[in-house]
Amino acid sequence: MDGKVVVVTGGAGYLGRRFCSAIAGIGGIAVVADRDIETARQIAAEIESAHPGLAEAQQLDITSKDSVAGLIEKLGNKYGHIDGVVNNAYPRNKNYGRKLDDVTYEDFCENVGLHLGGYFLVAQQFGLYFSNQGYGNIINISSIYGSMAPRFDVYEGTSMTMPVEYAAIKSSVNHLTRYFAQYFKRDGIRVNTLSPGGILEGQPQSFLERYDSYCGKKGMLESGDIIGTLLFLLSESSRYVTGQNIIVDDGFSL
């Protein structure tokens, strides 16, 4: 990845920061692109202390065309190339995460619009830049819930659920990957999906036990467990892989 510029949207978030540090760890320049610029600066500074010159923070709102196009222009002028984008931000409104019965039409539309619409905008704008450049790599971060029906039993007795918007968003992200891969395949652009299972982040024990009972030996994964697949998709090792969805979940979705 030496000198390759890779933008991670939502780069200041839980998974995004791990992605950025892994990219810098193998010589790429990680652009920590997030709406939360303060946290993005902190994350970039932490990565830079271990990998000087290999991280920078940029403010980005994936739901604004001006913001996405402005970032592309800025980075294009600075580096002369952008090699990849990881579509990873996680916008949601204050009512996101309610159980099905309580989701209003307005909240459904807003959450789908922010997340799916934002992923579309990022893929569209970077795709057009990559098309002019003659190469580029788009990785859409989806979820097992883009491919499988929810297992509601794992949430019993907790305040958690698998939001209905998430099913609509992530299944659409999976298919947009194929659409964009087809549209851009003759321009040297690859588009793939990485679908993680749930990632450990202080979830209730009862939930974890039920979740783990559907998995292989590991159970719910840690953020580091999906890094290898991200780097594979970013690297030349996957140069003829496009339009695919790789699920990393220790077998939960089987």
Ligand X SMILES: NC(=O)c1ccc[n+]([C@@H]2O[C@H](COP(=O)([O-])OP(=O)(O)OC[C@H]3O[C@@H](n4cnc5c(N)ncnc54)[C@H](O)[C@@H]3O)[C@@H](O)[C@H]2O)c1
- Rounded to whole angstroms, the Cα distance separating 160 from 196 reads 18
- To ligand X, the closest distance from the beta carbon of 174 in angstroms equals 12
**Minimum CB distance to ligand X smaller for 63 or for 253:** 63
146 part of the interface to ligand X, by CB under 6 A: no
Q: Cα angle vertex 247, ends 243, 249, to 5°? A: 170
- Rounded to whole angstroms, the Cα distance separating 90 from 119 reads 10
CA–CA distances in Å: residue 148 to residues 42, 127, 162, 167, 177:
36, 28, 11, 9, 17
- To ligand X, the closest distance from the beta carbon of 70 in angstroms equals 13
Indicate which residue of 119, 145, 166, 211 is catalytic. 166
124 part of the interface to ligand X, by CB under 6 A: no
How do 189-196 and 5-9 pair as beta strands? unpaired
Q: Which stretch binds ligand X (CB under 6 A): 48-56, 105-113, 131-139, 196-204?
A: 196-204
Q: Which of 21, 58, 88, 177 binds ligand X (CB under 6 A)?
A: 88
Q: Which of 5, 20, 32, 141 binds ligand X (CB under 6 A)?
A: 141
Size of the site for ligand X (CB under 6 A): 24
- CB contact set of 104 (below 8 Å; sequence gap of 6+): 95
Residue by residue, DSSP assigns 3-23 as T-EEEEETTTSHHHHHHHHHH
Q: Which of 7, 15, 31, 32 binds ligand X (CB under 6 A)?
A: 15
Among all chains, which residue has been given the structure tokens 């600066």? 41
**In which element (H, E) is residue 248 found?**
strand 245-248
- To ligand X, the closest distance from the beta carbon of 64 in angstroms equals 8
- Rounded to whole angstroms, the Cα distance separating 162 from 103 reads 12
225 part of the interface to ligand X, by CB under 6 A: no
Residues 25-84 that bind ligand X (CB under 6 A): 34-36, 60-63
Is 166 among the residues known to form the active site? Answer: yes
Amino acid at 90: Y
Residue by residue, DSSP assigns 148-161 as S---GGGGTTSS--
198 part of the interface to ligand X, by CB under 6 A: yes
Tokens for 202, please give them.
Answer: 């202080």
- To ligand X, the closest distance from the beta carbon of 186 in angstroms equals 28
**Minimum CB distance to ligand X smaller for 5 or for 57:** 57
Q: Which of 28, 84, 97, 118 binds ligand X (CB under 6 A)?
A: 118
Check if the beta carbon of residue 91 is closer than 8 Å to that of residue 165.
no
- To ligand X, the closest distance from the beta carbon of 241 in angstroms equals 20
Q: What is the largest CA-CA distance in the chain?
A: 53
**Minimum CB distance to ligand X smaller for 188 or for 244:** 244
Contact positions vs ligand X (CB under 6 A): 9-10, 12-16, 34-36, 60-63, 88-91, 118, 141, 143, 196, 198-199
Catalytic residue numbers, as ranges: 166
